[in-house]
Structure 1
Amino acid sequence: MAELNTVLGKIMAVLNAYGVDDDELGFAELQRRTGLPKATLHRLLGDLTEVRLLDQASRGYRLGGHLFQLGLRAAAERGLVEVAIPYLEDLYERTHETVHLGLREGHEVVYAAKLGGHRQASSPSRLGGRLPLHATAIGKALLALAPSDVQAAVLAAPLTRRAPRTVVAPGILRRQLEAIAETGVAYEFEESQVGLACVASPVLDGDQVVAAVSVAGPAERFDPRAHAASVHAAASGIALTLARRARLVER
């Protein structure tokens, strides 16, 4: 992370002040979270708004659409999303529930794609948003096959409780991750949000996990176990397509 006494450090302090649940933040809250002087923060907010990294809103500032556009230009992620979209669309047609593609960044899942119709479940996920790995099915699918040091760090850190049923006991989470690594399927039962159930499966590139796919629906009518095979098949299809593309590039 850039030092706070550099221009880049100050910019990153502002952008990183936004949490997964923050739609917009006011000036006073941004100053509290960043610790920047008022004059410095005011100047930065103006500059960031001018280049569309932030958008001015009714009660403050929200992250700008240009940030998402920049993210989509990242070659590896863009190629992965392009490959995944047909499989995600097929999965949506099979389930008519909310379908996600997620990537791991640190100890969080970042949502790279989200498909849903008129009856989609109320979900804390949003395109480009982040949630803790341990609190979501898609996050647990990513964590189960992550490098051992990543797993150890997540299990050693405090596991934040996002809902009454969030798994916050390291021993229980470790056993879940072992089962996911063996079966290739992860479940969530009202762990990221009350009333939400989810099933997910990792997308592998060789023995490395590069993404995960999930389907989520209202817990009152959606049984994630009934869709495990479809989600696993979609993740496997994405992995096979990525492998074929890689072989073509090597020729």
Structure 2
Amino acid sequence: MNSVLGKVRPILEAFTEQDSSLPLAELVRRTGIAKATVHRLAQELVDWGLLERDGCDYRLGLRLFEMGQRVHRQRILREVAQPYMEDLLLVTHETIHFAIHDALDVVYLDKIFPHRGLNEESRVAGRLPLHCTATGKAILAFSPDSLFLQVVRHGLKPVTRHTVVSPGRLRAQLDRIRADGIVLESEEIRLGYASLAVPVFGRDSSLVGALSITAPTYRMDAVKHATALRTAALGIGRSLR
């Protein structure tokens, strides 16, 4: 926080997915940085295109979007995964996610859904916890045990009443996922919804992410969807190799 970048970061991160714009006073409150400093840095960020003025408020600038599209690894993964995700959507008519691991979360690189699909909770570039999402569990199961220990140390916070918060139960789930190669998560992240996920492996059999199908629990057919999901994940892996 003592450096310029240390102050710029919380200003940019003050914006959540729910915020179209924020007034200066709210930026000051969320960052804890002096008003004069926030005002000066915000003006510089506007000059750089990282922020834009929205009347008297500020919003994230188009320059950030342009820069985000240049992140090579994530862009390649997304471009490779998209055709297989579209095929999976045509087969299942349910919401399809492709996620990667970052810190203790999954980050969604892509999401496609039909008119009746899930349009809340998850979003492209959004984050959700590893321990209670299907994609997160698939990634955890095939990652080094040190990641599991980090997740447990951080705390298995409940999102719904069905979220697994016992380290023993979570470890048992991961053991089963490694044996089966697939995970079914039911109502741990959102009541009334379930997700089916598989890991995706790239070059040298390295884990690159996870692919999932999300549907209302009454529509989720794990047996029917498992083959299509595995086929799509294998296709993404072959293309990456």
* Alpha-carbon shift at residue 91 of structure 1 (Å): 0.5
Q: How does 1:19-30 map to 2 (within 5 A)?
A: 22-24=18-20, 27-30=24-27
Question: Given residue 239 of structure 1, which amino acid in structure 2 is its aligned partner?
Answer: G
Residue 220 of structure 1, aligned match among 218, 221, 225: 218
CA RMSD of aligned residues (A): 2.3
1:37 equivalent to 2:37? Answer no
Matched with 1:189 is 186
Inter-CA distance 26–212: structure 2 relative to 1 (3 Å threshold): farther
Correspondences of 1:164-179 after superposition (within 5 Å):
164-179=161-176
Report the CA distance shift for 1:170/1:56 in structure 2 as closer, same or farther (over 3 A): farther
Q: In the aligned structure 1, how far is the partner of 2:69 from the partner of 2:180?
A: 31
- For residues 22-171 of structure 1, the aligned pairs below 5 Å read 22-24=18-20, 27-54=24-51, 61-171=58-168
Unaligned runs of 5+ in 1: 244-251
The percentage of counterpart residues that share the same residue type is: 44
The one-letter code matched in structure 2 to 1:95 is T
Taking structure 1 as reference, are residues 48 and 186 closer, same or farther at Cα in structure 2, changes over 3 Å only? farther
Report the TM-score, using the length of structure 2 for normalisation.
0.88
For residue 86 of structure 1, report the CA deviation from its aligned partner. Answer: 0.9
Single out whichever of 103-112 and 56-65 deviates more from structure 2.
56-65
Contact 2:113–2:119 (CA<8 Å) still a contact in 1?
A: no
* Larger displacement relative to structure 2 (47-56 or 150-159): 47-56
Q: Deviations over 1:43-76 (max 9, x none)?
A: 3333334444345569965544543432231111
Query: How far apart, CA to CA, are the structure 2 residues paired with 1:231 and 1:15?
Result: 37
2:96·2:112 contact (CA, 8 Å) conserved in 1?
Answer: yes
Distance in 2 (CA, whole Å) between partners of 1:157 and 1:99 is 28
Distance 1:151 1:88 in 2: 28
Structure 2: stretches of 5+ with no match in the other structure: none
Count of paired positions:
239
Residue of structure 2 equivalent to 1:231: 229
Q: CA deviation at 1:81?
A: 1.2
Distance 1:45 1:90, change over 3 A: same
- Residues of 2 paired with 1:217 and 1:44: CA distance? 44
For residue 134 of structure 1, give the secondary structure of its aligned residue in structure 2.
helix
